[in-house]
Amino acid sequence: MTTLPFTCLDPMNSGDPNALSVERARQHLLDTVQPVTGHERLFIRQALGRVLAEDVISPVNVPAHDNSAMDGWAVRFADLSTDGETRLKNVGTAFAGRPLDLKVGVGETARIMTGAVIPEGCDCVVIQEVAKVEGDTVIVPPGQKPEQNVRRAGEDLQAGKPAIPAGKLLRPAELGVIASLGIPELSVRRRVRVALFSTGDELCSIGSPLAPGAVYDSNRYTLWGMLTRLGCEVIDMGVVKDEPAALEAAFREAANCADAIITSGGVSVGEADFIKQLMAQLGEVAFWKIAMKPGRPMAFGRINAGKIGDVRSSAWLFGLPGNPVAVMVTFYQFVQPALLRLMGIDPLPPLPSFAARCVAPMKKGKGRTEFQRGILFQENGEWCVRPTGHQGSGMLSSMAKADCFIVLEAEREKVAAGDLVQVQVFGGLV
């Protein structure tokens, strides 16, 4: 593979001249990873959350026929008087799914229901609320417009044209559109396989009693949750001790079976250097110092599995810091966009963010982008945000309380109560 600019520096960053900005780090990941190849055909319901591999071309017009948008009277617009009432003769009823099998002639009208095919000869629907009925006669007031309340064949989707482009994430709306075309199965990209493990001799898996000085491994659970939400196939390899042989075996196995490897721990300055050395030996890995808080150190690159059979397989490596909040912040800011690209989503959605009024002051050092945890609420019709309290990078409860990140730009200094700040919302409607 080509050499990545792993050592790229960001001299524009005022806090630490060697630190990479959040934006550059994210862009570099997006420029580097490529979508996985490999498609599969799935029935429409199984395709929810998957990425469309080929354009869905509409085999039909939607709607298939001109039809009524309202309950009312199908009329010939040319019959209507512009300055007075028009009296028309009722010749029948068109129901949805039961078209009228006669032509509506001059001076005639037909009762029509929503969704019913517009009878031959008609080009306008008068809503039932404004029409008067006297026996067989329907009286239409002036002021009607041509084509009103008529849904034209193909006005939603046209036969032969792409209805949904390749690269689209299939959400409920896309499933509905595909069903509206009568298509039962589609071609989607295969799932992205992600192997993960935690490193650290202090880590204890849940189910075992906590030894003195040990901590329960929470990162594998947050990572599993975030990856599962993204629709990745997760291979959880557990906790790997800080021992060269165990780590090497874990890296090789992960690179052999996955598209991407996510590790937590072992990339910070105070860590045993052999983990970094090992990552670097097994492939091509850069150790980034990112101008952000939390989540400053991060490793990114490619790990080789070694020669397995005749193929040399390798996987992307995202070596995240160990602190639990830093894991989640770096995942959402860097790993998630990179995985969306690996999944083949195109174009990538922008990170959802908007300005909210911060109701408490916040300390902030210049030169690093900070991702504080916040709680959104509305006051006097305005979106406001309150920090969750202590913002230590080990305090995972701050993430559990929060519903957004408060993103404080690198160049920004302290925030006063009442200042506007950018927030990235955790949840969306769809």
Kindly list the residues in this chain that would bind ligand AMP in the complex (CB under 6 A).
Answer: 198, 200, 202-203, 215, 217-219, 264-266, 268, 270-271, 321-324, 394
With respect to ligand AMP, which residue has the nearer C-beta, 86 or 323? Answer: 323
Q: Which stretch binds Mg ion (CB under 5 A): 194-202, 208-216, 297-305, 364-372?
A: 194-202
Quick check: bond before 349 cis, omega within 30? no
CB 144, CB 79: distance < 8 Å: no
With respect to ligand AMP, which residue has the nearer C-beta, 167 or 266? Answer: 266
User: Which one of ligand AMP, Mg ion, none is in contact with 367 (Cβ closer than 5 to 8 A by kind)?
Assistant: none
With respect to ligand AMP, which residue has the nearer C-beta, 139 or 215? Answer: 215
With respect to ligand AMP, which residue has the nearer C-beta, 314 or 323? Answer: 323
Site residues for Mg ion, 246-265, by CB under 5 A, read 265
Q: Which stretch binds Mg ion (CB under 5 A): 139-147, 217-225, 253-261, 318-326?
A: 318-326
From the CB of 305, what's the least distance to ligand AMP, in Å? 23
297 is an interface residue for Mg ion by CB under 5 A: no
From the CB of 196, what's the least distance to Mg ion, in Å? 15
Helix (H, G, I), strand (E, B) or coil at 191: coil
From the CB of 198, what's the least distance to ligand AMP, in Å? 4
With respect to Mg ion, which residue has the nearer C-beta, 265 or 324? Answer: 265
Residue 407 vs residues 69, 288, 377, 414, 423: alpha-carbon distances, Å:
46, 20, 17, 12, 6
With respect to ligand AMP, which residue has the nearer C-beta, 324 or 387? Answer: 324
From the CB of 227, what's the least distance to ligand AMP, in Å? 15
301 is an interface residue for Mg ion by CB under 5 A: no
Site residues for Mg ion, 168-187, by CB under 5 A, read none
Helix (H, G, I), strand (E, B) or coil at 22: helix
Q: How many other C-beta atoms are found inside a 10 Å radius of the C-beta of residue 396?
A: 19
With respect to ligand AMP, which residue has the nearer C-beta, 86 or 198? Answer: 198
CA distance 239 to 199: 6
Q: Render 264-310 in DSSP notation, one character per residue.
A: ESS-STTS-HHHHHHHHHTEEEEEEEBSEES--EEEEEEEEEEEETT
CA distance 269 to 323: 13
The secondary structure of residue 328, as a DSSP letter, is: H
Helix (H, G, I), strand (E, B) or coil at 61: coil
From the CB of 315, what's the least distance to ligand AMP, in Å? 20
CB 283, CB 302: distance < 8 Å: yes
Residue 79: closest CA among 123, 111, 116 = 123
From the CB of 160, what's the least distance to Mg ion, in Å? 58
CA distance 243 to 199: 9
200 is an interface residue for Mg ion by CB under 5 A: yes
From the CB of 266, what's the least distance to Mg ion, in Å? 5
From the CB of 199, what's the least distance to ligand AMP, in Å? 7
The secondary structure of residue 95, as a DSSP letter, is: B
C-alpha torsion angle, residues 247, 253, 256, 261 (rounded to 10) = -50
With respect to ligand AMP, which residue has the nearer C-beta, 92 or 394? Answer: 394
List contacts with Mg ion (CB under 5 A).
200, 265, 322
